Amino acid sequence: MDDQKILASQEDFGNVSVCPGGVVHVNLVHLSIKMLPSDFVKFCDLISHARRNFDAPPRSGGKPVLQVVSPRVPDDSGDEEDK
């Protein structure tokens, strides 16, 4: 790892480095990813797009409504009125 060039680092989170062979290494606390430079660029675009959508303001149109749905249990009494 001494030959790797650190591209970015954040203490207690992880780093991104590139080795002499050109492979990009994304090392997070519990995850490591190795990818080719072209895939790294696609990955960055994907994360950037996700970040923009994550910060997007909530849609207008009122408050969300919670609807609880319970399954209909058949009545064993033999009444056909509810059907």
For the chain, how many structural domains are there in total? Answer: 1
DSSP 59: P
Checking DSSP bridges between strand 14-18 and strand 31-35, what pairing results, if any?
A: unpaired
* Within-domain flag for 73: no
Which uninterrupted H or E stretch holds 81?
Answer: none
pLDDT at 44 over 80: yes
Give the Cα separation of 6 and 14 in Å (integer). 11
* Within-domain flag for 61: no
> What is residue 78's predicted lDDT score, i.e. its pLDDT?
60
pLDDT at 15 over 70: yes
* Within-domain flag for 66: no
pLDDT digits (tens, 9 = 90+) for 45-63: 999 999 988 876 666 666 7
* Within-domain flag for 81: no
Average pLDDT over residues 12-36: 95
Integer distance in angstroms from the first to the last C-alpha of the chain? 71
Give the Cα separation of 61 and 4 in Å (integer). 50
Contact 41, 32 (CB under 8 A): no
Average pLDDT over residues 63-68: 73
* Within-domain flag for 68: no
- Give residue 11's domain range: 5-54
List the structure tokens of 12.
Answer: 């207690």
